[in-house]
Amino acid sequence: MSNQTVSPGALLAGRYRIAELLAEIDGARVWRAVDEVLSRAVVVDVLPVGDPRTNLLFDAARRAAAAADPRFLRVLDCDMHDGVTYCVREWAGGRPLERMLGSGPLTGQQAGWLAREVSEALENLHRTGHAHGSISPATVVVTDAGAIKVVGLATEAALRSTGPGSPEQDVRALGELLYASLTGRWPGPAPAWGLQPAPVEHGRLLSPRQVRAGVPRSLDDISDRLLSNPPRHHAPPITSAAGLSAALSGVVGSSHEPPSQMDETVAIARQNGSIDDATQVVPPTPPAVDPTPSAYQSNGQDQQRAAYATAPQTRPVRRQAPPPSNGNGHRRRADEPKPKGSWGGRILILLAVLALLSVVAMAQFLLKGGLNNEQGTGSEDGGTTTAPQTSGPPSATGSAVTIAGAKDFDPKPDGNGEEHPDEVPNTYDGKASTTWTTMSYSRANLGGQKPGVGIVYDLGEPTAVSKVSVALVRDGTSVELMVPKGDTSKSPAASSGWTAVATEEDQPEGTTVLTPSQPTETRYVMVWLTKLPKDDKGGKFRGEISEVTIQR
């Protein structure tokens, strides 16, 4: 088998069914494929017979496999078959930053958050003494769920024969990525990644704020400390991923939730003195997310739309002091005398009247109670009748429970440990258009490999659960509501630690209500799929949930 004979439909190594060509890098080919053993999509790098990069790719795969940060896509397999070297990696469903920037720059909050996520992943990697070696807008992907994935750890550099790289080179590349995200221009002398070069003045790169109005000064300073030599205003340079993570966390915070607009960036930056008090940045319209799935894309290989719509240019707006008012909604002239009296005095008088009325009402209540005690409330047999006792308002039932967190559940050895974990938040984000999907299986009973897959929901504390509504996609799903056996304050790691309290089989598309046969109080509940509907697109079987609502 040669590189040329690896084509769509071919079965590589008796396991990986080649689907489509994604990119070609100096003779190496990058394919989307299906792992027919585990029924999941993967990416396969293929080198032709005798390619001198074979040993480099094997070494890179070993280094990549040791990376523990979930933001790096894992290397799953690397071997030779019929002389062809192949490396199998996780599939990234989403949009590369390269495509996103094709529609325009990001907002300040988005750019800062994205760079911070990548810098945190690199910080963890650099502690092990290794580097990515090829950070670029093509190797940073925003998934359909909004999470960040970094593609091609070590392997991308091996395919491009650029060497393993160094932590310092990674940080410099991340500075270029941040600059491009803020401005939509590439900080280099020539066009790159579909972007025109950034302007230069007197041999010095213009800062992001000089290129695009509205860039927060805090992010402008960080970009300058990454790329300028030396930085402006005698600021210390940023040369490590740890230093960059700390600087960006001080601007955009430390949340891993994807941002929608830059209001928080402006507020935090103003508190830090990074934005002039005399100006405020008008936040742009929140970005629109393109729901069309995509995979690994290389430069110039895919013309699908970017994940975010073009971010409009922001502009500083001079704040003006509000005009003096005379209290009636009309502007008071400078020479107009202030009216006698004030609202403050009137309010004090009103409060005094209310206090007097309260005293009178209390006196009447006590007087009436004393008279009742003198008259007695005896019954005909001389006993006394006890007044009915009233309790406070009963706890609300039927109200929605706030979900504190959730994670996919596909424990080993039956499962492979995960079922699209990045998509789990889609099931309780209040949006019917976003979904969580299982992996694809050859049969409705999950290929006979396992009893089921599901999602565990953490309610934060033991909570009475009356019913759980699950919005299913496609007809033919069987679903169960599970709670932990024994101690319901702990989430069992094995499926044998859960027990079903409600079951619905062969459900049609729409909302299925799971009602426990008896009152259930638990901190954790699991929605467990035991039979999957057929996927119309690929002929496989795949479960899909759009929303889950848990009620007291």
Q: Which residue has the tokens 């949930």?
A: 545
DSSP H helix total and E strand total for the chain = 10, 22
Cα–Cα distance for residue pair 413/292, rounded to 1 Å: 33
Here the tokens at position 520 are 């259930």
Give strand pairing partners of 455.
408, 527
Q: What is the pLDDT of residue 402?
A: 92
- For 373, the token pair is 């005690």
Nearest to 107 by CA among 191, 7, 184: 184
CA distances from 191 to 34, 103, 507 (A): 35, 16, 54
CB 212 within 8 A of CB 105: yes
Which structure tokens are listed for 141? 């992907």
**For residues 26 and 159, is the Cβ–Cβ distance under 8 A?**
yes
CB 151 within 8 A of CB 92: yes
- Return averaged pLDDT per consecutive 10 residues of the chain, 552 residues in all: 73 94 90 94 92 93 89 93 92 90 94 96 93 95 90 92 91 97 95 94 92 93 93 90 94 83 37 32 32 38 32 36 42 42 59 71 57 42 38 55 93 78 91 88 85 94 93 93 91 91 92 88 95 81 92 90
Distance CA 506, CA 140 (A): 40
What tokens appear for 187 in the block?
A: 């900080």
Query: Cα 512–513–515 angle (5° rounding)?
Result: 150
Which of 232, 228, 220, 222 minimizes the C-alpha distance to 281? 220
List of domains in the chain: 10-90 (3.30.200.20), 94-272 (1.10.510.10), 400-551 (2.60.120.260)
| pTM recorded for the entire structure | 0.50
What does the pLDDT read at residue 152?
A: 92
What pLDDT sits at residue 347?
A: 65
